[in-house]
Amino acid sequence: MASLLIQAGCYYRDRNHAVVMVHSIDPERETVTYSQIGYEWKITTVLIIFRSRFIRFDA
């Protein structure tokens, strides 16, 4: 069973194999801030959306 815990500093990928790194998690607002590898900008999304689109993997 996959863990639902999202961790900062870990790599995740989506079904298209786009790799992202999580920078921070805000439990109060239930958001995740991450960036795609190779890009400077950071994206913030709701935790439930992030969980539905990304899975953790070891780089």
Instruction: Note whether residue 1 is domain-resident.
Output: no
Domain range enclosing 30: 11-56
* Segment among 5-9, 34-38, 40-44, 55-59 with least mean pLDDT: 55-59
Instruction: Note whether residue 15 is domain-resident.
Output: yes
Instruction: Note whether residue 41 is domain-resident.
Output: yes
pLDDT of amino acid 15: 94
Instruction: Note whether residue 23 is domain-resident.
Output: yes
Instruction: Note whether residue 22 is domain-resident.
Output: yes
Q: How many CB atoms lie within 10 A of CB 34?
A: 21
Dump pLDDT digits (tens) for 18-45: 999 999 999 999 999 999 999 999 999 9
Instruction: Note whether residue 2 is domain-resident.
Output: no
Q: Look at residue 59 and tell me whether its pLDDT is greater than 80.
A: no
Instruction: Note whether residue 25 is domain-resident.
Output: yes
The total number of structural domains in the chain stands at 1
| % of residues, the chain, pLDDT over 70 | 92
